[in-house]
């Protein structure tokens, strides 16, 4: 049906292999032959069949993107990761197969087993992620966004949550705050093994202890109206606290309206700092001083490393675990 390399060859009066070489540039072609081939390609509107090429080369030029949408997750945060991965992949010549199935392990087995992809990026990796065994057994390489318990043999990329917490505590400490509330992700994130929760919280506690600060850690909520109720309860319970560190997407997104309703002014009544990306902050109009969570850098680095491993396995070297250095953006929400 569609037009093939045979059609182009006939039209140009050469053999199919010559057309193939002309396209790939893998061997010299005389100018006149090349011209005829180019003309034929344009005239017939030829594009090489991806399946045939994949079969012949064992390369699909497709990367699988494995997302996880927990039912209780704050959805708007996900797209920030998907887009940079997709854009970086395309820059490097790869397309993205988006895999959103609930049965993530089965899905991973499927896309690697069928050879649909040359490699995979796993998003939202948790402490004991069931996908990792499957990934290790797969013939294709993979890159993780999110730090699991065991990183052996895997390329891992994550924000440095510990350092992020220390930067925020340092910032508040330098301003003279002595009693600080920390709102973590919801409890179920900890239960599920989202290590970023305790990595951030524990670092904040430790740093606070070193300075002799009072740090009050709380689990946050993921949805309204629970968010508003919990913030109000926490602030009521800690009337002498002067600063709030929010490490919770849903809570920080709702915070402006929660505080406005409560009549709490930032930074006059309360200093607020957080951790979110530029895009997220813009979407939700967040005015808070925050560590940039850099989903674009994470996605980009993961894809680049993955492609390196796909393209030149021998040169890619030992597995890496890379933490993005946090970057504080001051927005005047602290006093």
Partner DNA sequence: CTGAAAGCGCTTACAG
Q: Which residues contact DNA by CB under 7 A?
A: 1-2, 4-6, 13-18, 20-21, 23-24, 26-30, 32-34, 46, 48-49, 52-53, 55-58
Residues pairing with 271 in the sheet? 243
Cα Rg, the chain, nearest whole Å: 25
Distances (CA, A) of 163 to 275, 280, 313: 12, 21, 32
Residue placing its CB nearer to its own copies in the complex, 111 or 132 = 111
Rounded to the nearest whole angstrom, what is the least distance from the CB of residue 36 to its own copies in the complex? 21
Distance CA 235, CA 83 (A): 36
Distances (CA, A) of 263 to 3, 255, 260, 266: 68, 12, 5, 10
Binding partner at 310 among DNA, its own copies, none, C-beta below 5 to 8 Å by kind: none
Piece in contact with its own copies (CB under 8 A), picked from 78-86, 154-162, 187-195, 199-207 = 78-86
Contact between 16 and its own copies by CB under 8 A: the answer reads no
Residue placing its CB nearer to DNA in the complex, 54 or 78 = 54
* Interaxial angle between packed helices 195-211 and 161-174, expressed in degrees from 0 to 180 and rounded to the nearest 10: 30
Piece in contact with its own copies (CB under 8 A), picked from 30-38, 76-84, 141-149, 307-315 = 76-84
Q: Are 195 and 149 in contact (CB under 8 A)?
A: yes
Q: Which of 23, 44, 92, 116 binds its own copies (CB under 8 A)?
A: 116
Q: Which of 153, 225, 317, 332 binds its own copies (CB under 8 A)?
A: 225
Residue placing its CB nearer to DNA in the complex, 14 or 180 = 14
Whether residue 300 has a cis bond before it, omega within 30° of 0: no
Q: What angle do CA 243, 278, 173 make, to 5 degrees?
A: 25
Binding partner at 5 among DNA, its own copies, none, C-beta below 5 to 8 Å by kind: DNA
Residue placing its CB nearer to DNA in the complex, 21 or 161 = 21
Binding partner at 15 among DNA, its own copies, none, C-beta below 5 to 8 Å by kind: DNA
Rounded to the nearest whole angstrom, what is the least distance from the CB of residue 267 to its own copies in the complex? 16
Contact between 69 and its own copies by CB under 8 A: the answer reads yes
Classify residue 260 by burial, with Cβ atoms within 10 Å: 0-12, 13-18, 19+: exposed
3-state secondary structure of 101: coil
Token couple for 150: 């065991």
Q: What angle do CA 7, 9, 15 make, to 5 degrees?
A: 140
The DSSP string of 143-176 is EEES--S--TT-EEEEE-HHHHHHHHHHHHHHTT
Residue placing its CB nearer to its own copies in the complex, 33 or 224 = 224
Map the footprint of its own copies across residues 257-276, applying CB under 8 A. 257, 260-261
Contact between 284 and its own copies by CB under 8 A: the answer reads yes
Interface ranges with its own copies (CB under 8 A) = 1-2, 45, 47-52, 54-55, 58, 60, 62, 65, 69, 74-76, 78-80, 82-83, 86-87, 90, 95-101, 109-111, 113-116, 139, 223-225, 227-228, 250, 253-254, 256-257, 260-261, 279, 282-285
């Amino acid at each position: 049906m569609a037009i093939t390399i045979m059609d182009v060859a006939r039209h140009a009066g050469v053999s199919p292999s010559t057309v193939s070489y002309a396209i790939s540039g893998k061997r010299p072609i005389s100018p006149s032959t090349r011209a005829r081939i180019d003309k034929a390609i344009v005239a017939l509107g030829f594009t090489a069949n991806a399946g045939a090429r994949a079969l012949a080369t064992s390369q699909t030029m497709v990367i699988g993107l494995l997302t996880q949408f927990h039912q209780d997750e704050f959805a708007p945060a996900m797209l920030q990761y998907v887009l940079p991965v997709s854009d970086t992949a395309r820059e490097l010549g790869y397309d993205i197969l988006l895999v959103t199935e609930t049965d993530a392990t089965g899905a991973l087995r499927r896309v690697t087993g069928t050879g649909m992809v040359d490699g995979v990026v796993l998003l939202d990796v948790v402490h004991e992620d069931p996908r990792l065994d499957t990934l290790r057994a797969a013939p294709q390489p993979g890159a993780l966004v999110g730090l699991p318990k065991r990183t052996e043999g895997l390329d891992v990329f994550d924000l440095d949550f510990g350092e992020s917490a220390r930067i925020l505590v340092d910032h508040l400490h330098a301003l003279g705050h002595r009693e600080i509330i920390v709102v973590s992700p919801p409890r179920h994130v900890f239960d599920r093994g989202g290590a970023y929760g305790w990595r951030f919280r524990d670092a904040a506690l430790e740093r606070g202890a070193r300075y002799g600060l009072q740090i009050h850690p709380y689990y946050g909520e993921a949805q309204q109206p629970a968010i508003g109720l919990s913030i109000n309860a926490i602030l009521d319970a800690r009337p002498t606290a002067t600063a709030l560190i929010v490490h919770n997407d849903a809570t920080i997104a709702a915070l402006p309206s929660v505080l406005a309703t409560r009549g709490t002014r930032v930074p006059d009544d309360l200093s607020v700092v957080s951790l979110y990306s530029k895009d997220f902050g813009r979407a939700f109009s967040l005015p808070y001083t925050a560590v940039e969570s850099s989903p674009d850098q994470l996605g980009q680095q993961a894809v680049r490393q993955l492609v390196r491993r796909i393209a030149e396995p021998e040169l890619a070297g030992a597995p890496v675990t890379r933490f993005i250095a946090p970057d504080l953006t001051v927005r005047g929400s602290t006093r």
